[in-house]
Structure 1
Amino acid sequence: MYRKNKWAVAVALDIKNAATDRLARELAAATGETITEALRLAVESGWPGFGSAGARTSSSTRWRRSCVADARATLDERPSEEILGYGPDGLPA
């Protein structure tokens, strides 16, 4: 249901792909839900954080975190392979 103001409005779902329609019907039959409810649950579970606004992280927040991580001082200038103890051949030294 699409909610606009205080009135609930039903919106039709038009699936134009035969394979997608078949899968949606199989999912609904397997879960015992309506097609709409089965698809809603599948989308929410397939996209973590989609259903709850608080769990979503905006791209600007991810970008800021990336900039902060890049700006942090490097404590050890050695290459990561050397820190981990791998030689030039990729084997432990």
Structure 2
Amino acid sequence: MNAIFSNLSKQTLANIEDQLSNNEVSTDEELVDLFIEELELTLDQAEAAIRLRDQYRIQIFRAGHGPLHNEKPVVFDPDTRTFN
């Protein structure tokens, strides 16, 4: 588990991952506000999550094994069609 997110529930982590992967409309600042106001993250947690946004936009992670969960995430390899 990524230490800064260790106190968050699985549902909260899933909500964060959904926003990081799929929300292409909101700015980083808007997402930080959303994470703090709606998901009750600390400022440090919200900013740490935003730093992972680019990874979530360009890579597919195995559910529950992305950078919010692991220091070494499990990433989908389109060439082999497997998670590594």
State the TM-score, normalizing by the size of structure 2.
0.29
State the TM-score, normalizing by the size of structure 1.
0.27
- Bigger-Rg structure (1/2): 1
